Amino acid sequence: MKFDALVIGAGYAGAVTARQLAEVGNMRVLVLEQRDHIGGNAYDCKDDAGVLIHQYGPHIFHTVEKRVYDYLSRFTTWLPYEHRVVANVHGQLMPVPFNLDSLEIAFGDRAPALREKLLAAYGPEQKVTILELRKNTDPDLAELADYVYQNVFVNYTMKQWGTTPEQIDPATTARVPVFLSHDDRYFQDPYQGMPANGYTSLFARMLDHPNITVELGQDAREHLIFTPEGVKLDGEVFAGPVVYTGPVDELFDCRFGRLPYRTLDFQFETHPVDWYQTRGTVNYTVDQPYTRITEFKHMTGQEIKGVTTIVKEFSKPYSGTEGEVPYYAIISPENTALYEKYKALADALPNFHLVGRLAEYKYYNMDAIVAQALDLADRLLKNKKSE
Ligand code: FAD
Ligand code: UDP
């Protein structure tokens, strides 16, 4: 069969691009996916006990973008779910993001006075990053900032990134600000929830189009050769657009050195109880070698009695060893400069396009990838029209 477009990777970036090109552009699209399943890191499946789990870590959908929500809603209905997380601080549980209720749990009688000072300084319902709060010179607020830094951020960040909050991209800790509110949801986005039949089913519907062919277990690097005339697929120059959603350094044999990533080891445990913990996720912010424990049934709404599955996440540097997955780009000026060198090689290839969390070397949530892929597909379809 002849194809008009080639997409590498069947996660959000690849699946959304493929669907748009196939449906709106009436292009025949070949999707190559190296894993034996679709969905990328959002893939879910039932484990041996019948519990629906997220194989590559807990995924909660949330967005402020209506067009993203509407787009995905074509392929799924949603279960209402609002993620609530607590930190385990020496056995005491308190909401994360650290909020006015956490303040009360941590400071007891002193909380009202601290709350008044906080509200006077920043205003009600405001979000303040921990790095910002640490700049406050008021002695009481400085003490509070130090408490939050020590008990919520420093150990968790050391576990997750191997370094302190000051040494990582400030946008990372800004994802979980101190929140001057009683709202204990992890996200305040207007659209949030879980796909009613799971993520994999959402992907199956998105990729179910007569113009789309998905080939699993196919590492594109084994089929593609890069030449100045274009990308050769199985020996012949491929005329249409090639969309790549994997790590860009690996395309070029890591010739400038590996792009740094963090990877995770997931430890899944099934327990013969209805519930293991009271929340979807408990962050271990002062002790334990893992960062967090997630119990899937809270998130998926699955009703199954007498059994539950949890996952513990252990972070470490990505080494590129077979079987390791590059989960988190380590954003820094130096790493971004290295990424740009690889991107320049990719940009020099005719009709070759990078999209996705790996290919763009960004800390993107699912919704951002959907938006990026929709934009890329629009650009490709516009080019096609003007040809
Ligand atoms: P991926 O999902 O990584 O898909 C890329 C695909 O390309 C993979 O299937 C890969 O196998 C394939 N591929 C790569 N190279 C090749 C090759 N050479 N040949 C063939 N195939 C190839 N986002 C949220 O919005 N909410 C959350 O709660 C959330 N939780 C997360 C938790 C964890 C632990 C992690 C790591 C991420 C989380 N995310 C979350 C982010 C989310 O996973 C990503 O934004 C999204 O899945 C990225 O989609 P993608 O298509 O860019 O990449
Ligand atoms: N973080 C922290 N303590 C927490 C939660 C988050 O120190 O209890 C920091 C940590 O550096 C983490 C970052 O904030 O990597 C972003 O957290 P988020 O929960 O958004 O991470 P993700 O779900 O993407 O792994």
Distance of CA 325 from the midpoint of ligand 1 (Å): 10
pLDDT at 226: 84
The set of protein residues with a Cβ atom below 6 angstroms from ligand 1 is: 8-14, 32-35, 40-42, 57-60, 219-221, 245-246, 264, 327, 356-358, 364-367, 369
pLDDT at 1: 61
pTM of the predicted structure, to 2 decimals:
0.97
Of 96, 148, 156, which is best to mutate to test ligand 2, by the most ligand atoms within 8 angstroms of its C-beta? 156
CA distances from 59 to 81, 289, 314 (A): 12, 21, 16
pLDDT at 190: 98
Of 163, 172, 189, 284, which is best to mutate to test ligand 2, by the most ligand atoms within 8 angstroms of its C-beta? 172
pLDDT at 209: 98
Distance of CA 130 from the midpoint of ligand 1 (Å): 28
The set of protein residues with a Cβ atom below 6 angstroms from ligand 2 is: 87, 96, 152-153, 156-157, 160, 172-173, 175-176, 283, 285
Which regions in the chain score pLDDT beneath 50? Answer: none
d(CA 225, CA 236): 9
Q: For 89, list phi and psi in degrees, rounded to 5.
A: -110, 100
Counting atoms of ligand 1 from 1, which one is nearest the CA of 250? 18
Taking CA atoms only, the protein residue closest to ligand 2 atom 1 is: 153
Of 35, 37, 357, which is best to mutate to test ligand 1, by the most ligand atoms within 8 angstroms of its C-beta? 357
pLDDT at 384: 82
254: exposed, middle or buried (Cβ count in 10 Å: 0-12, 13-18, 19+): middle
